[in-house]
Chain A
Amino acid sequence: MVGETKTQKLIKFYIPLALYLFFLLFPFYWMVNTVFKSDNEMYNLELNPFYIHSPTLENIVHLFTRTIFFKWMANTFFVAILSTLIALGASLLAAYAIQRLRFKTSQPTGVAIFLSYLVPQTILFIPLAHVIFQLRLWDSLWSLVLTYPTFLVPFCTWLLMGYFKSIPKEMEECAMIDGASRVRIFTKIILPLCLPGILSAAIFCFTLSWNEYIYALAFISDTYKKTVPIGLVTELVRGDVYHWGPLMAGALCASVPVALVYSFFVEHYVAGMTGALKE
């Protein structure tokens, strides 16, 4: 790359980058742009749709006052946080056991957990609906809390195994010579050292649970128990009547928690994503 001229840099870097960013950001612009428009303006083809002529908050007010948006948000938080905690706990133990305890069946167990990561929800929701029905969890948020860990645990375990691998064995051996028990080593030495990994795993779990759609759509029908994405689409689209403004407002507001979590921990997120691929 030595001796690259300005023109070369423009063609090879700035122009492609600008095109990509335009492509990736355009839908967001369209969403934000719609949120602050009145219906009159939105449905007037004489006006430039990419510009907000008279900004208004009426869509957000509609969303907050005429739907139970906050209830849906609370439901989504409830499910996302509980399933994250369950998945994180189970994954930490499992990853440590597979990576470090090296018991007889640790290898096949690791493989089985990896394979389960690749089973898509699309082929599981029908039999799961059957199971949920039998467990009498139909139309309950607990059905989601219990089923979400199925796609969180495999990924987290895989991710955390990579972190456990990077901790030198000598540390454990030293502690063992000093008479520390294995459980103590796990809680006092391994866990604190893996904090970045645990954080990445937690972020992944939270965003994945927040984004889940098909189980929430299949197992919940009571409006008061819906999660955000399901609630928005079913309540703001009535037959042929589309409330586009409030819908966009809802999409924007519901993306905020994920975007916040993500912006604080973007480095962990990228590390987790690439770490998991390289393992």
Chain B
Amino acid sequence: MAFPIRARLAAALENPTLLGFLFVAPAELILLIFLAYPFFLGIWLGFTDTVVGREGSFIGLENFEELLNDPAFWLTVFNTFLYTVMAVFLKAALGVGLAVVLNRDFKAKGLVRAIVLLPWIVPTALSAICFWWLYDSTFSGISWVLFRLGLIDRFIDFLGDPWNARFSLIAANVWRGVPFFTIGILAGLQTISPELYEAADLDGASSWAKFKKITLPLITPLLAVVTAFSTIWTFADFQLIWIITKGGPAGATHVFGTLSFQRAMSGGHFGEGAAISNFMLPILIICVLVSFKYLRRED
């Protein structure tokens, strides 16, 4: 008697819609419970006075009004945009530069590529610890060299001065993010036909002209995707800054992520933290649309 049931089950599994539904279910369940639900819950929490461990009630735009009247929040907005724009620009420029350098045949290509990827592979929290020590105000190797060369007359206070701290963090972020651009763009460069460059050579084009007229237009779609991804990650960065400066000195390096963590986890104000996250959404949505548009075109 078991046979017909089994046969019916087997037949049901041949139905693509049913099987498709079954196959997608685990992934969707995970994403619904731990991603989609928290995503919308987060938006809602921004409109409540929830504190850790206790349900809050709806308070309208109070959190947002409070933040807009908070100078610390505006400093955070400034920092986040400065950090994102500068770091992404530098990563793109340096990353494309390295990709162009690597786009040729040479002996240890595999090894060099593996080395280039290292900063991206090593856990960010751990490289952040390393930068933290490298930026020490008394024992930094960078200061030591510059001092011995006579370029500075006292050791640089990397993390104690607001602007120094901002640029130090940008440098660390750039260091970590360059490999992503390089490897991504390198894949695009390898698909460009060498004949294009040969034709340009015959016309006597300079290296720069070749880069501007051939390379850049051809990698633009890929560059747009890589840049959009990187913008999302940089804009939503947390760990690098949290480990190295915790947003200090005096809030000079707080970005959205660190400020919301401080208000929500250290301060217990979930509602306010969530409201800060909500302010990130418009920028994130723009980046998502950009990456989506170009990824589609590549199909």
Contact = CB atoms under 8 A, between A and B. Distances in A.
B24 A45 contact: no
Given A13-B106, A16-B97, A21 B134 contact: no
Contacts of B126: 228-229, 232, 250-251, 254-255
Nearest to A3: B201
Interface in B19-57: 19-24, 26-28, 30-31, 33-39, 41-42, 45, 50, 52-53
Contact of A94 (B27, B39, B45): B27
Given A118-B284, A122-B260, A273-B183, A16 B101 contact: yes
A252 B175 CA distance: 18
A258 B144 CA distance: 32
A42 B22 CA distance: 59
A233 B292 CA distance: 37
A94 B242 CA distance: 35
Given A89-B26, A97-B19, A277-B222, A125 B50 contact: no
Given A30-B141, A247-B133, A24 B41 contact: no
B119 interface: yes
Given A113-B31, A115-B288, A118-B232, A127 B274 contact: yes
Nearest to A1: B104
Q: Is the interface of A mostly helix, strand, loop or mixed?
A: helix
Nearest to A138: B53
Nearest to B11: A181
B291 interface: yes
A84 interface: no
A124 interface: yes
B14 A248 contact: no
Interface residues of B, number: 105
Name, among A91, A106, A112, A120, the residue most crowded by chain B CB atoms within 10 Å (CB to CB). Answer: A120
B238 A122 contact: yes
B42 A183 contact: no
B38 A21 contact: no
A24 B265 contact: no
A122 B102 CA distance: 34
Interface string A246-263: 011011001100110011
Contact of A21 (B19, B112, B222, B238): B112
Interface size class of A (residues with CB under 8 A): 35 or more
Contact of A153 (B30, B41, B106, B138): B30
Contacts of B280: 122-123
A131 B23 contact: no
Contacts of B93: none
Contact of A123 (B124, B229, B242, B277): B277
B114 A49 contact: no
A193 interface: no
Nearest to A96: B23
Interface stretch (A54-62, A63-71, A194-202, A205-213): A205-213
Interface centre among B31, B53, B225 (most CB of A within 10 A): B31
A17 B101 contact: yes
Given A129-B265, A218-B265, A45 B144 contact: yes
B273 A126 contact: yes
20 contacts: A1-B197, A13-B106, A16-B97, A20-B101, A27-B131, A109-B24, A120-B284, A122-B238, A122-B257, A123-B236, A126-B274, A131-B37, A181-B10, A232-B129, A244-B139, A247-B133, A254-B126, A273-B180, A277-B184, A278-B187
